[in-house]
Amino acid sequence: MDHAFWHSRWQNQQIGFHLDQANPLLVSHFHHLALTAGQCIFVPLCGKSLDIPWLLDQGLQVVGIELSPLAVKALFQELALTPEVEEMGAITCYRAGPLTVFNGDFFALSQTQLKQAQVGQIDAAYDRAALVALPADMRPRYSQHLTALTAHAKQLLVSFDYDQSLQAGPPFSVDSQAVQQLYGKDFKLSLLADVPLAGGLKGKCPAQEQVWLLQALS
Protein backbone atom coordinates (compact mmCIF):
# COMPACT_ATOMS: atom_id res chain seq x y z
CA MET A 1 0.00 0.00 0.00
CA ASP A 2 1.69 3.21 -1.17
CA HIS A 3 0.93 5.61 1.67
CA ALA A 4 2.25 8.63 -0.21
CA PHE A 5 -0.08 7.92 -3.14
CA TRP A 6 -3.21 7.84 -0.97
CA HIS A 7 -2.17 10.80 1.17
CA SER A 8 -1.65 12.76 -2.05
CA ARG A 9 -5.05 11.76 -3.41
CA TRP A 10 -6.80 13.09 -0.30
CA GLN A 11 -4.59 16.18 -0.05
CA ASN A 12 -5.44 17.09 -3.64
CA GLN A 13 -9.05 15.93 -3.34
CA GLN A 14 -8.56 13.38 -6.12
CA ILE A 15 -11.26 11.18 -4.64
CA GLY A 16 -13.37 10.09 -7.57
CA PHE A 17 -13.95 6.84 -5.66
CA HIS A 18 -15.99 8.81 -3.11
CA LEU A 19 -19.69 8.53 -4.02
CA ASP A 20 -22.21 11.30 -3.30
CA GLN A 21 -24.67 8.78 -1.86
CA ALA A 22 -24.70 5.46 -0.10
CA ASN A 23 -23.61 2.75 -2.51
CA PRO A 24 -26.78 1.39 -4.19
CA LEU A 25 -25.29 -2.12 -4.08
CA LEU A 26 -24.95 -1.87 -0.30
CA VAL A 27 -28.53 -0.65 0.03
CA SER A 28 -29.82 -3.44 -2.23
CA HIS A 29 -27.88 -6.32 -0.68
CA PHE A 30 -27.37 -5.28 2.94
CA HIS A 31 -30.20 -7.56 4.07
CA HIS A 32 -28.09 -10.61 3.20
CA LEU A 33 -25.90 -9.82 6.22
CA ALA A 34 -28.96 -10.34 8.47
CA LEU A 35 -27.76 -7.79 11.02
CA THR A 36 -29.91 -6.28 13.74
CA ALA A 37 -29.68 -2.95 15.54
CA GLY A 38 -26.80 -2.81 17.99
CA GLN A 39 -24.59 -5.26 16.11
CA CYS A 40 -21.15 -4.23 14.83
CA ILE A 41 -19.90 -3.89 11.26
CA PHE A 42 -16.27 -3.32 10.24
CA VAL A 43 -15.45 -1.14 7.21
CA PRO A 44 -11.82 -1.33 6.00
CA LEU A 45 -10.23 1.64 4.19
CA CYS A 46 -13.45 3.54 4.83
CA GLY A 47 -12.50 7.08 3.81
CA LYS A 48 -15.40 9.41 4.53
CA SER A 49 -17.86 7.19 2.70
CA LEU A 50 -21.56 8.01 2.88
CA ASP A 51 -22.03 4.29 3.43
CA ILE A 52 -21.05 4.98 7.03
CA PRO A 53 -23.96 7.28 7.94
CA TRP A 54 -26.27 4.87 6.08
CA LEU A 55 -25.00 1.99 8.23
CA LEU A 56 -25.37 4.12 11.36
CA ASP A 57 -28.95 4.82 10.34
CA GLN A 58 -29.57 1.06 10.45
CA GLY A 59 -28.80 1.20 14.16
CA LEU A 60 -25.39 -0.48 13.87
CA GLN A 61 -22.13 0.06 15.66
CA VAL A 62 -19.69 1.00 12.88
CA VAL A 63 -15.93 0.49 13.10
CA GLY A 64 -13.63 1.73 10.33
CA ILE A 65 -9.94 1.96 9.53
CA GLU A 66 -8.59 4.70 7.26
CA LEU A 67 -5.07 5.79 6.34
CA SER A 68 -5.75 9.50 5.70
CA PRO A 69 -6.29 11.76 8.74
CA LEU A 70 -7.94 14.27 6.40
CA ALA A 71 -10.61 11.71 5.51
CA VAL A 72 -11.21 10.74 9.13
CA LYS A 73 -11.56 14.33 10.32
CA ALA A 74 -13.83 15.17 7.38
CA LEU A 75 -16.04 12.19 8.17
CA PHE A 76 -16.69 13.26 11.76
CA GLN A 77 -17.12 16.89 10.72
CA GLU A 78 -19.69 15.99 8.07
CA LEU A 79 -21.55 13.86 10.63
CA ALA A 80 -21.45 16.79 13.09
CA LEU A 81 -19.76 14.54 15.66
CA THR A 82 -16.96 15.56 18.02
CA PRO A 83 -14.86 12.45 18.62
CA GLU A 84 -12.74 11.45 21.57
CA VAL A 85 -9.22 10.94 20.24
CA GLU A 86 -6.79 8.40 21.68
CA GLU A 87 -3.29 7.58 20.50
CA MET A 88 -2.59 3.85 20.32
CA GLY A 89 0.98 3.57 19.13
CA ALA A 90 1.02 3.84 15.33
CA ILE A 91 -2.79 4.05 15.30
CA THR A 92 -5.03 6.94 16.39
CA CYS A 93 -8.56 6.09 17.49
CA TYR A 94 -11.50 8.48 16.97
CA ARG A 95 -14.72 7.59 18.82
CA ALA A 96 -18.13 9.22 19.02
CA GLY A 97 -21.24 7.29 20.00
CA PRO A 98 -21.70 4.24 17.78
CA LEU A 99 -18.85 5.23 15.42
CA THR A 100 -15.21 4.25 15.93
CA VAL A 101 -12.60 4.99 13.27
CA PHE A 102 -8.95 4.04 13.51
CA ASN A 103 -6.53 6.27 11.62
CA GLY A 104 -3.40 4.55 10.34
CA ASP A 105 -2.08 1.64 8.32
CA PHE A 106 -4.62 -1.16 8.06
CA PHE A 107 -1.89 -3.73 8.63
CA ALA A 108 -0.86 -2.00 11.88
CA LEU A 109 -4.34 -2.46 13.40
CA SER A 110 -4.48 -5.31 15.89
CA GLN A 111 -6.96 -7.15 18.06
CA THR A 112 -5.27 -5.48 21.03
CA GLN A 113 -6.18 -2.03 19.74
CA LEU A 114 -9.74 -3.13 18.99
CA LYS A 115 -10.06 -4.24 22.61
CA GLN A 116 -8.40 -1.06 23.87
CA ALA A 117 -11.05 0.92 21.99
CA GLN A 118 -13.72 -1.28 23.60
CA VAL A 119 -14.80 -2.74 20.27
CA GLY A 120 -16.72 -5.89 21.07
CA GLN A 121 -17.60 -8.73 18.73
CA ILE A 122 -17.49 -7.76 15.06
CA ASP A 123 -20.57 -9.28 13.45
CA ALA A 124 -19.86 -8.45 9.79
CA ALA A 125 -17.50 -6.66 7.44
CA TYR A 126 -18.30 -4.49 4.44
CA ASP A 127 -15.62 -4.02 1.77
CA ARG A 128 -16.53 -1.68 -1.05
CA ALA A 129 -13.25 0.00 -1.87
CA ALA A 130 -10.48 -1.78 0.04
CA LEU A 131 -9.63 -5.03 -1.75
CA VAL A 132 -9.94 -3.38 -5.18
CA ALA A 133 -7.61 -0.57 -4.07
CA LEU A 134 -4.71 -2.98 -3.55
CA PRO A 135 -2.35 -4.48 -6.14
CA ALA A 136 -2.44 -8.25 -6.55
CA ASP A 137 0.67 -8.94 -4.45
CA MET A 138 -0.86 -7.26 -1.39
CA ARG A 139 -4.29 -8.90 -1.52
CA PRO A 140 -3.44 -12.21 0.19
CA ARG A 141 -1.98 -10.39 3.20
CA TYR A 142 -4.97 -8.05 3.26
CA SER A 143 -7.59 -10.80 3.10
CA GLN A 144 -5.81 -12.81 5.80
CA HIS A 145 -5.51 -9.80 8.11
CA LEU A 146 -9.15 -8.79 7.59
CA THR A 147 -10.30 -12.34 8.30
CA ALA A 148 -8.21 -12.46 11.48
CA LEU A 149 -9.27 -9.01 12.72
CA THR A 150 -12.95 -9.82 12.29
CA ALA A 151 -12.68 -13.43 13.51
CA HIS A 152 -14.12 -14.85 10.28
CA ALA A 153 -17.17 -12.57 10.41
CA LYS A 154 -19.45 -12.71 7.39
CA GLN A 155 -18.66 -10.13 4.75
CA LEU A 156 -20.30 -8.17 1.96
CA LEU A 157 -17.67 -7.58 -0.72
CA VAL A 158 -17.98 -5.34 -3.79
CA SER A 159 -15.43 -5.96 -6.55
CA PHE A 160 -14.75 -5.11 -10.19
CA ASP A 161 -14.09 -7.42 -13.11
CA TYR A 162 -12.58 -5.84 -16.24
CA ASP A 163 -9.67 -6.19 -18.64
CA GLN A 164 -6.76 -4.88 -16.56
CA SER A 165 -4.69 -4.32 -19.69
CA LEU A 166 -7.12 -1.60 -20.78
CA GLN A 167 -6.95 0.47 -17.60
CA ALA A 168 -4.47 0.80 -14.77
CA GLY A 169 -5.83 0.59 -11.25
CA PRO A 170 -6.84 1.50 -8.68
CA PRO A 171 -9.50 0.34 -8.57
CA PHE A 172 -8.04 -2.93 -9.77
CA SER A 173 -9.85 -5.81 -11.37
CA VAL A 174 -10.51 -8.60 -8.86
CA ASP A 175 -12.39 -11.29 -10.76
CA SER A 176 -14.26 -14.34 -9.48
CA GLN A 177 -11.18 -16.54 -9.62
CA ALA A 178 -9.21 -14.06 -7.52
CA VAL A 179 -11.99 -13.81 -4.93
CA GLN A 180 -12.08 -17.62 -4.73
CA GLN A 181 -8.32 -17.83 -4.28
CA LEU A 182 -8.33 -15.21 -1.53
CA TYR A 183 -11.33 -16.32 0.47
CA GLY A 184 -12.43 -19.77 -0.70
CA LYS A 185 -10.53 -21.69 2.01
CA ASP A 186 -12.28 -19.85 4.83
CA PHE A 187 -15.67 -18.84 3.46
CA LYS A 188 -18.62 -20.04 1.45
CA LEU A 189 -18.83 -17.55 -1.44
CA SER A 190 -22.15 -16.49 -2.94
CA LEU A 191 -22.28 -14.15 -5.92
CA LEU A 192 -25.26 -11.90 -5.23
CA ALA A 193 -24.94 -9.58 -8.23
CA ASP A 194 -22.90 -9.21 -11.41
CA VAL A 195 -23.94 -6.02 -13.18
CA PRO A 196 -22.40 -3.73 -15.83
CA LEU A 197 -20.80 -0.63 -14.37
CA ALA A 198 -22.69 2.31 -15.83
CA GLY A 199 -20.42 4.26 -18.17
CA GLY A 200 -17.60 1.75 -17.73
CA LEU A 201 -14.60 2.09 -15.45
CA LYS A 202 -13.63 5.77 -15.38
CA GLY A 203 -15.44 5.99 -18.71
CA LYS A 204 -12.58 4.16 -20.39
CA CYS A 205 -13.42 0.45 -20.49
CA PRO A 206 -16.39 -1.83 -19.82
CA ALA A 207 -16.50 -3.39 -16.37
CA GLN A 208 -18.70 -5.58 -14.25
CA GLU A 209 -19.43 -4.73 -10.63
CA GLN A 210 -19.90 -7.79 -8.46
CA VAL A 211 -21.33 -8.25 -4.99
CA TRP A 212 -20.25 -11.24 -2.91
CA LEU A 213 -21.52 -12.64 0.37
CA LEU A 214 -18.84 -14.44 2.36
CA GLN A 215 -19.95 -16.77 5.14
CA ALA A 216 -17.52 -18.67 7.34
CA LEU A 217 -17.25 -22.38 6.66
CA SER A 218 -18.43 -24.46 9.59
Q: Indicate the annotated binding residues for S-adenosyl-L-methionine.
A: 10, 45, 66, 128
Residue 116 makes CB contacts below 8 A (sequence gap 6+) with 86, 88, 93
With left for phi above 0 and alpha for psi between -120 and 50, is residue 8 left, alpha or beta?
A: alpha
Nearest residue to 163 (alpha-carbon basis) of 207, 129, 211, 212: 207
Beta strands across the sheet bearing 124-127: 84-88, 91-96, 99-103, 61-66, 40-44, 124-127, 154-161, 208-216, 187-196
Report the C-alpha gap between 210 and 27 in whole angstroms: 14
Asked whether 133 and 45 are in contact (CB, 8 A), the reply is yes
Residue numbers belonging to the annotated binding site: 10, 45, 66, 128
